Amino acid sequence: MSDPETPVTVAITSELLFDLQSREPGPVFSFVKALEAANAQIKEHFPETKELFRVILINDNSSDKSLKETLKKTQLDKLIVWPPVSGENLIAKLKENKTHLYLSAKTGFKIHEAVNAGIAAASVFNSTLQQSETPNLPLCVVFDGDAVLFSDESECVTETGLENFFKHEDENVDIPMTEGPLKVFLEALKRLQRKFYDNNKREHCPILTYLLTSRNAGNAGYRALNTLKTWGLGTDQAYFLNGTSKGPLIKMINPHIFFDDQKKHLEAAMKEGKLACLVPRP
């Protein structure tokens, strides 16, 4: 686990934050503004802390003056580390910066390489997103379960038939699942939350986390919750949808970011104007 005063570092390709031509806000802009607002809340209650969000931009043009000016105009220059890092030897740079989450505009090898290096990583599924309105606080992050927080072991069984899945979960109900690619990001978020919880300031915590899974609330759901408990983690809320659409709950939760490994669920989030991120399967 990280040093308790280590910042939570999010690396983002610059075109996701601003359109490279028009400098208009990109699909992750609202998410980044929520990170900034969360920092302000954390510093209000813990003025000396270094345990804050920070954002690293990935841009091969590190002397891009117009990008720097745009950051100042949008008041993101204190949150975002300058200069950007280039894409060359990217994984080594992400590790050097102790990156907890890497968001890319592209799918492919780099995302898989980051996950294999122990960095939570996903590609933005809707890079031309027209976002619906979301308040800056609380920072709301929604995770799928299988192949996202957890390994894809059970999801692989599901692909052989639902009966096989239910049998597998019944037989393994008390056996925790192995970790998935986004577990490390949830772990980082919980570290910030505990700062408030441990100091009797829960009501001031600027972060909310959700588990939104197609599992049912029976043995399959119990196994998910028990796995998180075994890891010393949890989410603020958990929903077990038993295979129904995730769209209505995504609309209700109104998150800043949603992680899933299945395109149909990401498309449901897109219809609600939400930032949807595709988590790579092995």
Give the separation between CA 197 and CA 116, rounded to whole angstroms. 32
Q: Where are the alpha helices (DSSP H) in the chain?
A: 14-17, 29-45, 65-73, 90-96, 109-116, 153-158, 162-171, 183-197, 219-230, 247-253, 263-271
Other C-beta atoms within 10 Å of 37: how many? 18
162-171 and 219-230 helices, crossing angle to 10°: 50
Other C-beta atoms within 10 Å of 125: how many? 22
CA distance to 20, 82, 127, 181, 204, per residue, from 139 (Å): 26, 23, 20, 20, 12
Give the separation between CA 137 and CA 33, rounded to whole angstroms. 9
- The answer to whether the CB of 16 falls within 8 A of the CB of 27 is yes
Is there a catalytic annotation at residue 236? no
Tell me the two tokens of residue 258. Answer: 């949603």
State the catalytic residue, choosing from 3, 60, 77, 144.
144
- Which residue from 183, 196, 23, 191 is spatially nearest to 101, judged by alpha carbons? 183
CA distance to 23, 150, 151, 154, 168, per residue, from 177 (Å): 43, 6, 7, 9, 12
- Which residue from 100, 22, 89 is spatially nearest to 58, judged by alpha carbons? 89
User: Known catalytic residues?
Assistant: 144
